[in-house]
Amino acid sequence: MQVILGIHPEPTITMPKKRVLMPFKDSGHEHQHCQHDAMQTAERVCAERGLRLTPLRRQVLQLVWDSHEPVKAYDVLARLQETHANAAPPTVYRALEFLQEQGFVHRIQSMNAYLGCGAASESHDSQFLICRDCGEVAELDDAEISDLLSRKARTLGFHIDNETIEIRGRCASCRH
Amino acid sequence: MQVILGIHPEPTITMPKKRVLMPFKDSGHEHQHCQHDAMQTAERVCAERGLRLTPLRRQVLQLVWDSHEPVKAYDVLARLQETHANAAPPTVYRALEFLQEQGFVHRIQSMNAYLGCGAASESHDSQFLICRDCGEVAELDDAEISDLLSRKARTLGFHIDNETIEIRGRCASCRH
DNA sequence: GAATTGACGTTACATTATAACATTACAAAA
DNA sequence: TTTTGTAATGTTATAATGTAACGTCAATTC
Q: B89 CA to D11 C1', in Å?
A: 11
Question: If DSSP states are collapsed to H, E and C, what string results for A49-74?
Answer: HCCCCCHHHHHHHHHHHCCCCCECHH
Is A26 a residue whose pLDDT tops 70? Answer: yes
CA-to-CA distance for B167 and B19, rounded, in angstroms?
Answer: 16
pLDDT at A17: 63
* CB B35 within 7 Å, strand D: no
Residues of chain A with Cβ-Cβ distance to B156 below 8 Å are 20, 23-24, 129, 138, 171-172
Q: State which protein residues have CB closer than 7 Å to strand C.
A: A 51-52, 54-57, 84, 86-91, 94-95, 98; B 72-74, 88-90, 93, 112
Q: How far apart are CA A162 and CA B127, in angstroms?
A: 13
Which strand (E) or helix (H) includes residue B54?
A: none
Question: For B92-101, what is each residue's pLDDT tens digit?
Answer: 999 999 999 9
- What are the CA-CA distances from residue B18 to residues A102, B24, B140, B163 (Å)? 39, 15, 9, 18
Chain B neighbors of A28, CB-CB under 8 A = none
- Give the type of residue at A19: R
- The Cα of B47 is separated from the nearest Cα of chain A by a number of Å equal to 30
Long-range (24+ apart) CB contacts under 8 A made by B65-69 are B65/B34, B65/B35, B65/B38, B65/B39, B65/B116, B66/B35, B68/B25, B68/B31, B68/B34, B68/B136, B69/B115, B69/B135, B69/B136, B69/B137
**What's the CA gap between A34 and A39, in Å, rounded?**
9
Question: With 50 as the cut, is the pLDDT of residue B6 above it?
Answer: no
For the cut 60, the answer to whether the pLDDT of residue B22 exceeds it is yes
- Protein-to-nucleotide distance from the CA of B53 to the C1' of C27, whole angstroms: 16
First to last CA, chain B: 27
Cα–Cα distance, B144 to A147 (Å, whole number): 12
Segment B102-159, tens digit of pLDDT: 999 999 999 999 999 989 989 999 999 999 999 999 999 999 999 999 999 999 999 9
Are the Cβ atoms of A167 and B158 closer than 8 angstroms?
yes
- Report the run of H or E that residue A83 belongs to, with start and end: none
- The per-residue pLDDT for B5 is 39
The pLDDT value given to residue A14: 56
Task: Determine the pLDDT at residue A9.
Answer: 44
**Which residues of B are less than 8 Å from A109 in CB distance?**
109-110, 164, 166
A88 touches strand D (CB under 7 A): yes
Q: What are phi and psi of B37, to 5 degrees?
A: -60, -40
Q: CA torsion B134→A141→B147→B124, rounded to 10°?
A: -40
The pLDDT of residue A138 is 97
What percentage of chain B carries pLDDT values higher than 70? 90
Give me the helices (H) in B20-88, please. Answer: 31-49, 55-65, 73-81
CB of B53 nearer than 7 A to strand D: no
Per-residue pLDDT tens for A111-169?
999 999 989 989 999 999 999 999 999 999 999 999 999 999 999 999 999 999 999 99
Of B27 and A118, more confident: A118
CB contact at 8 A, B21 and B117: yes
Start-to-end CA distance of chain A, whole Å, equals: 29
Q: How far is the CA of A114 from the C1' of D13 (A)?
A: 29
Distance B153 CA to D16 C1' (A): 32
Lowest mean pLDDT among A82-91, B10-19, B48-57: B10-19
Q: Which residues of A lie closer than 8 Å to B, measured between beta carbons?
A: 20, 23-24, 109-110, 127, 129, 131-132, 138, 140, 142, 144-145, 148-149, 152-153, 156-172, 175
Question: For residue B156, which of A45, A100, A32, A29 has the smallest C-alpha distance?
Answer: A29
Q: How big, in percent rounded to 5, are the helix, strand and coil portions of chain A?
A: 40, 20, 40
Q: Comparing A82 with B10, which gets the higher pLDDT?
A: A82
Q: Taking the complete model, does pTM exceed 0.95, yes or no?
A: no
Arithmetic mean of pLDDT over chain A = 90
pLDDT at B74 over 50: yes
CA distance A44 to A40: 6
